[in-house]
Homo-oligomer: A and B are copies of this chain.
């Protein structure tokens, strides 16, 4: 690569982005990723997740020297003490981040300079579902709305096209919009016989 390849746009290294796209196009196996989280219950509505390693681009990632740790909690009206944001709020955070990053990624691939993006999300949920009070009520979000303000050096039509691409290619947005199978296995630790 030449030094020209280190040019950045929207904070992304354009040469690295192009090289990544080419590598995955040539070797689709490199696009297979496994992300992970470990979680431990503390008490009541409080539990903590640890996120560090993942597999991707053909190998275990070792770039994170320390894990990320997040506390889940619940507000008093949901029997907690605000020990952290609650799980459905973390889902909104993941969705906001994913739609934003997907927009920035595709803008960069198209050579569009983004000035700013901000989003406000709201999700409607009927807690009769969680509590099993009405079998006709789905426990999940009924719908989620994302209001996005975006300023970029391009036409309105190019922005609309970019948002259409982000909507269709965001991994979290797609996971929410489409049915994804979740399997829960009960496992027991093998204990050595004394």
Which A residues form the contact surface with B (CB < 8 A)? 10-13, 16-17, 20-21, 24-25, 28, 31-47, 49, 51, 54, 56-57, 61, 63-64, 68, 70, 72, 74-79, 82, 84-102, 104-106, 114, 116-134, 138-150, 159-160, 163, 165-189
Closest to A21 in B: B131
Query: B171 near A130 (CB under 8 angstroms)?
Result: yes
Query: A100 near B186 (CB under 8 angstroms)?
Result: no
Query: B72 near A149 (CB under 8 angstroms)?
Result: no
Q: Which 10 A-B pairs have the closest CB atoms?
A: A11-B44, A140-B174, A72-B97, A11-B43, A87-B98, A90-B94, A39-B96, A140-B175, A37-B92, A41-B117
CA distance A44 to B12 in the complex (A): 5
CA distance A188 to B173 in the complex (A): 22
Q: A55 to chain B: closest CB distance in Å?
A: 9
Q: A150 to chain B: closest CB distance in Å?
A: 7
Collect the chain B residues with CB atoms within 8 Å of residue A45's CB: 11-12, 101, 104-105
